[in-house]
């Protein structure tokens, strides 16, 4: 069952399945946030936005709104 990065709990991992190219900044794609890559939620900011994730060996801060557009499968 698919879900998105925004629904992960801290420490959970998933594999990126699909990305809404209309809503995802090009910079995220350039940093390796692509289908088939593993993603892990490292931390949430105090107000739950932004989210801090690890993907393709990089630590990235991503807005919750953007994270909800990246579909994953939990592992």
pLDDT tens for the 75 residues of the chain, in order = 579 999 999 999 999 998 877 878 888 888 888 999 999 999 999 988 999 999 988 999 999 999 999 999 998
User: What's the pLDDT score for residue 13?
Assistant: 96
Distance CA 75, CA 39 (A): 10
Q: By the 8 A CB rule, do 45 and 72 touch?
A: no
Count of other CB atoms within 10 angstroms of residue 66: 19
pTM for this prediction: 0.86
Token pair of 19, please? 């990305």
**Omega prior to 3 cis, within 30 of 0:** no
User: What's the pLDDT score for residue 1?
Assistant: 53
């Amino acid at each position: 069952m698919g879900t998105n990065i925004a629904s992960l709990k801290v420490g959970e991992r998933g594999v990126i399945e699909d990305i809404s190219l209309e809503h995802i900044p090009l910079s995220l794609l350039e940093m390796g946030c692509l289908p088939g890559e593993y993603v892990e939620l490292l931390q949430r900011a105090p107000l739950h936005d932004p989210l801090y994730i690890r993907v393709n060996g990089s630590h990235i801060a991503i807005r919750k709104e953007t994270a909800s557009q990246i579909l994953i499968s939990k592992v």
